[in-house]
Amino acid sequence: MEQYDISQEQAYEVINKEISNCWKDVNEAYLNSHDIPKHVLDSIVNLARISEFMYENFEDKYTNNELLKNYVATLFLDPIVI
């Protein structure tokens, strides 16, 4: 940030815009890919989803599991009935 003389908020905006653009690319490739088996694509997209969740808002839920604790408890104690 200091190298480019921008604030932390501006850097976050740029990173979030890049993430949004990457998701557009991933979704387009997922929908238009016909030569790769769907279960392989599902695995790749799900890995991207969990990675985004674990590091969203620039917090590391993997290392700091206290941030993840409420999500896990909600998932198992208050499941969504389909």
- Per DSSP, 57 falls in state G
Let me know if residue 59 belongs to a domain.
Answer: yes
On whether residue 2 sits in a domain, the answer given is no
Range of the domain at 54: 8-77
Is 82 within the bounds of a domain?
no
What is the tens place of the pLDDT at every residue in 28-72?
A: 989 998 899 999 999 999 999 998 888 887 788 888 888 888 888
Is 19 a domain residue? yes
Does the residue 1 lie in any domain? no
Q: Which runs of consecutive H residues, i.e. helices, occur in the chain?
A: 8-32, 38-55, 66-77
Instruction: Give the total number of structural domains in the chain.
Output: 1
> Does residue 3 sit within a domain?
no
Instruction: Judge contact between 48 and 40, C-beta under 8 A.
Output: no
In terms of pTM, does the model score above 0.85? Answer: no
**Which residue matches tokens 């990173």?**
15
Residues 15-34 have a mean pLDDT of 91
